[in-house]
Structures are given as structure tokens and as C-alpha cells.
Structure 1
Amino acid sequence: MSSAPLLPPDYRPSEDEEFMSDIQKEYFRQKLLAWRSELLRESNETVHHMQEESLAQPDITDRASLETDRALELRTRDRERKLINKIDEALRRLETDTYGYCEETGEPIGIKRLEARPIATLSLEAQERHERMERTHRED
């Protein structure tokens, strides 16, 4: 993409336009970058907050509660770290013009699905097939 198109402030992609036109790509690029930025900001706030908190609580119950909260917070941040990696992968797919297309079928994933899950790599049908296969293998 040489120069990104300017997005109207109220722009929303629709099924009526050409799929993954330059304006749609720019819309999803901005959406992914904003999401990534928000996750990084929250992560930095967590680190700062954890540095300020002291585990030297005199009360054993308070200390145990704080340790439990920290463990939960760290698990959440780990999930978000993995999400940031998926966002980065989606941004790379935008650069290579493979964003928005199902990895299995090559068909368009669909605007509604991408709006709901901008990091989606499978069409709804392929995702459902994938989940059915997982359930079948889990039951074996």
C-alpha cells in the first residue's frame, strides 16, 4: 500500500462494496492498530501497578489475596500477549493482500465476521468445521 486512503470518520465497511478494497483494508488496519495499542497500554498499566503494589502485606490473608489477583492478572496479560501476536499476523496479512480471506478455502471471510473478530483467519463455515473436528477428536 503506497498511500493509505483517508477514511471518512463514520465509515463502516459494507457487503455492497468491493471486498477488501483499499478503503476496507485501511479501515481494518486502523481497527487492528487501535486494538493493539489499547492492549499494550493496559499491559503497561499492569506492570506499573504491580511495581507499586507491595507483597509485604502484614496480613497473611491480604497477601494471599494479592498473590491470587496477580496470578489472574498475569494470565490475562499472557492471553493478551498472544492476541497481540495474532493482531501482528493480521497486519502482515493486510500487507500481503491475504487479509480477509479464509486460510482453508481462499474464500472471503465476510465483513460481519471480520468486524466481530478482526483477527479471524477462517470463514464461519470453515471455523465451524474446524470446531466440529476438534469436538470429535476430543470425544475419542
Structure 2
Amino acid sequence: MESVLTQQAAPAGGLSEEEILAMPESDYMNEAQLAFFKSRLQALERELLQNAGQTTEHLRETPFVPDPADRATIEEEHALELRTRDRERKLLKKVQQALEHIESGEYGWCEETGEPIGVARLLARPTATLSLEAQQRRELRQKLYGD
């Protein structure tokens, strides 16, 4: 299954990534761009929720295996799947926050500086809340001070 984040085709009636990138800076976070990112985030949200449901079903359907080695392999696979779903759960929370930011008019603007995050960065990471420069400063502080 192809991830929503790797899809480059335009949503029905919407813009493509190339069209979004070609827009002038004066059009930053206009209605068309917000609709594009809202659609992308909603699709990602659906995908994450579907994955969570599949994990639940998969864990319920686990057969009893008498061989300890086979049982250990199955348990390791389940542990890996649960770690993946935990990361997806955290991403889902960020996706839902991004959707809230679209509704409140805060999407696309750096939480720290108030500057535009940038369309290219949002295409790469639609849940970004910091501009690239602010993110780099935060990571440097964390590296230096362990914040």
C-alpha cells in the first residue's frame, strides 16, 4: 500500500505539489493551499486509523503455537508491530493538531517565530510546526543542553 505522503498526484479538483510549489510567496497559505494540505492530512489520518484497526485485528487473530521458538518469533513480530503503531499514534496526534491549526488559521506559520514554515517543508512534513531555522535551533539546544 502506497503511503499518502508519497502520492504526488493532485486530489480530485485540487492542486498538485508542483502547482503548490509554483505559487508566488504572496499566495502563501491561501485557500487552495490550505485545502491541499487539509486533504493530505485527512488522508494520512484515515491511513493511520486504518493501520491501528488492522493491528488490533492481527493481534486478536494470533494462533496458539506450542513451539517456544515459533512463539518467540510471533511475540517479537507483535512487539515490532506495537512499536510501529506507537509511533503512528504519536504521528496521528500531530496530524490532528495540524488539522486544528488549519481550522484556526495557524497552519503553515512557525510556532516560535511567526514566520512562514514554507511550502516545500510542509510538503515534506505536513505536521511541521517550526520553520527549518527554528527546528535547527531547537535541535542544537537539545544537543548542547539536553533539553
TM-score normalized by structure 1? 0.89
Give 1:9 deviation, angstroms.
4.7
- Quote the offset at 1:11 in angstroms: 2.6
From the superposition, tell whether residues 98 and 89 of structure 1 become closer, same or farther in structure 2 (CA, over 3 Å): same
Number of residue equivalences? 133
CA distance in 2, matches of 1:9, 1:124: 26
Q: 1:8 aligns with which of 13, 36, 40?
A: 13
Q: Which residue pairs with 2:136 in the alignment?
A: 128
Where structure 1 has 5 or more consecutive residues not aligned to the other structure, the ranges are: 1-5
8 Å contact 2:109–2:115 — kept in the other structure?
Answer: yes
Mapped pair 1:46 → 2:91: no
- What is the alpha-carbon root mean square deviation over aligned residues? 1.8
Q: Report the alpha carbon displacement of residue 68 of structure 1 after superposing the two structures with TM.
A: 1.0
Task: Give, as a single letter, the amino acid of the residue that structure 1 aligns with 2:47.
Answer: E
Q: How far off its partner does 1:38 sit?
A: 0.7
Please list every run of 5 or more consecutive structure 2 residues that lacks an aligned counterpart in the other structure: 1-10
Give the counterpart of 1:24 among 10, 25, 33: 33
After TM superposition, the score normalised by the length of structure 2 is: 0.85
CA 1:134 to 1:124, structure 2 compared with 1: closer, same or farther past 3 Å? same
Structure 2 match to 1:78:
86
Q: Deviations over 1:67-109 (max 9, x none)?
A: 1111111111111111111100000000010000000000000
How far the C-alpha of 1:44 sits from its partner, in A, is 1.0
Amino acid at match of 1:73: E
For 1:62, the aligned partner's letter is: D
Which one is further off, 89-98 or 69-78?
69-78
SS in 2 for 1:118: coil
Q: Is the 1:113–1:124 contact (alpha carbons within 8 Å) kept by the matching residues of 2?
A: yes
